[in-house]
Amino acid sequence: MKSRWTGEARRAERLPFPVVPLPVQAIYNLLVQPSPLRFLKNVNRGREIATVLLNYGFGDVLERLGLLPYLKWGRRLISRKARDATEQLTTARRIRLALQDLGPTFVKFGQVLSTRADLIPQDLIDELSLLREQVPPFAQENVDRQLEEEFGRPINELFATFDNHPLAAGSLAQVHRAVSKDGRNLVVKIRRPSVVSCVEPDVVLMLELAQLLERHVPESRVFDPVGLVKQFTRTIRREMNFRREGRAMLDFARRFEGDPRLYVPKVEQELLTESVVVMEFISGIRVDDSAAIRAAGLDPNQLARDGAEIFMRMAFEMGVFHGDPHPGNIRILPSGPICLLDYGMVGFLDDGRRELLVDLFVAIARQDVNSVIKVVMNLGEPTQQIDRILLQADVRDFLDAYYGVPLEQLHVGQLLTDFIGILSSHGLHIPGDLMVLVRAIITLEGVGRGLDPRFNIAEVLAPFVENLIRERYQPRRILERTLTDVRTLVAAAHDVPLHLGKTLKKISQDDVKVQLEHRGLDHLISEFDRSSNRIIVGMLLSSIILATALLIRAGNADSYWFALPLFILSGLLGVWLVWGILRSGRL
């Protein structure tokens, strides 16, 4: 096994064979640092991913990642006609098609990417928004077996009736209707039996691929590939945990207990596990069915306003909000309350970020460019060197474009999109939960305008921002912040003697160490190792060729049978070495 892997590694580096043993650091790098071998440790799936990327014209990326040499045979199976067809497509479309071919995990990843307008170009976002999950429902015997394993009882003891035909089937779960023993209509959401075993290896490979991208394709770092994969991993693991979703529904029901405008489906707590959630069936009107809403005698404008106010309460008062309020997840009950479905994606907004958002709103209202930039730098994380002068100019143009616009004419969705576009162009990475909030507000504005073209979410947002500003300057809040700052200072002062003592002790024992981080030397070291290996191999081959030529020249019959084959073999190895150097393009 060892020789096969090292042989593949040599072919990836386009070297004939190493003659110098790998040092300890090289072995550590091979095992720990991002490398093609680590990506291909799951050989079948890793090669499948690399082959799909090659099929859609990303061979140059695979070449830079060091993965292309592993696909020599698969590469021959790709027809020239297929390659020509993909070359006619845009890069964004090829990315979407590749994700579609790679299966449900990658489709989910593309859907998450489509929400990151701060990192992803708009043309790619438009393409990724077209991704759809196309998976068949899993067999009824799997449903029966999973329910019995989860609850220790057969399905006919759990429900009075159970519909074998699923209402919907997704990449993570499918939904069935059922009736409880006491006659209540229910929905049973069941996780796919093998979804965890499929998703977990994929996210590990995605992380390996992202690390390879950041290591070997420096220009990709502006998109933060590793950060995106980590955010996706956290998101999909949350969505696969139905116990978490059930608890979120119970939490929202408790928080809105006194607000008749929002109805949260009841959860059957005794039938709640990590892979199954049973809840009340909701047969309301879809929020995008305007005709049915009007036929029910409901006011679309009031519904739009109620929905926006409910969301603003979640985000700016409670700090936890529904992360995916698209029309398919919103129902209107006949009596008027709004019902939100699918609590698998929930966003969080802590006090610190709420305060920063207030600072941002105040700075925008005052046309204070420097304060806007200061808040943005605290909210986001730079992924590249920031040109502050250019950023100031772009922020000033942004503020001028929206200054003086009447509230009723303000499009919050467009404003947020333009603002995120500025941050993205300057390499400022916004935290995932904030992007979920921005996306949810933009989606809600679209839903509201679908109900009433005159609806303006800014009119709903403004009172919540004003309330946050008033609350900030209340004596109680000022006292709380002051006490918190004092506690922090006291704790820091308490630790100073301890840290000072440790430092002096290390100095007295000559135990002070300075850590230096070198950047950009890995490639130089790799090139040096490659060059030295080639020199040593070339010298050895030259010596063998010269020695065997002298033996042949001497005409000694006893050594002739030994010298001639060795001479021919050395010559062939020499040709192989030259061919490897020519193929690498580094003569």
Q: How many CB atoms lie within 10 A of CB 479?
A: 10
For residues 527 and 34, what is the distance between their CA atoms, to the nearest angstrom? Answer: 17
Cα gap 477→412, rounded to integer Å: 29
Cβ neighbours of residue 119 under 8 Å, at least 6 residues apart? Answer: 222, 223, 224, 228, 424, 429
- CB of 315 within 8 A of CB of 270? no
Token pair listed for 172? 């993570």
With 0.75 as the threshold, say if the pTM is over it.
no
pLDDT at 70: 62
Q: Confirm if 65 and 218 have CB atoms less than 8 A apart.
A: no
> β-strand 262-263 against 338-340: which pairing, if any?
parallel
- Residue written as tokens 């306003």? 305
Does residue 387 carry a catalytic annotation?
Answer: no
Q: What is the CA radius of gyration of the chain?
A: 31
Q: What are 179-200's pLDDT values in tens digits? A: 999 999 999 999 988 888 888 8
CB atoms within 10 A of CB 95: 20
> Residue 22 has what pLDDT?
37
Closest CA to 21 of 543, 578, 533, 525: 533
Given the residues 224, 306, 324, 342, the one annotated as active site: 324
Domain ranges of the chain: 2-133, 136-169+172-250+265-281, 285-473, 521-584
pLDDT tens track for 525-571? 666 776 777 788 778 778 877 777 777 777 666 666 777 777 788 77
Task: Name the residue among 379, 395, 372, 377 with its Cα closest to residue 437.
Answer: 379
**Residue 509 DSSP SS3:** coil
Tokens of 43: 């050989």
- pLDDT given for residue 182 in this prediction: 92
| Angstrom distance (rounded) from CA 318 to CA 58 | 45
Comparing CA positions, the residue from 277, 290, 289 lying closest to residue 328 is 289
CA-closest candidate to residue 172, choices 50, 274, 325, 53: 274
Return the pLDDT at 80: 47
In the prediction, which pLDDT does 509 show? Answer: 78
Instruction: Report the alpha-carbon distance of residue 565 to residue 568 in Å, rounded.
Output: 5
* Residues lower than pLDDT 50 in the chain: 1-32, 73-80
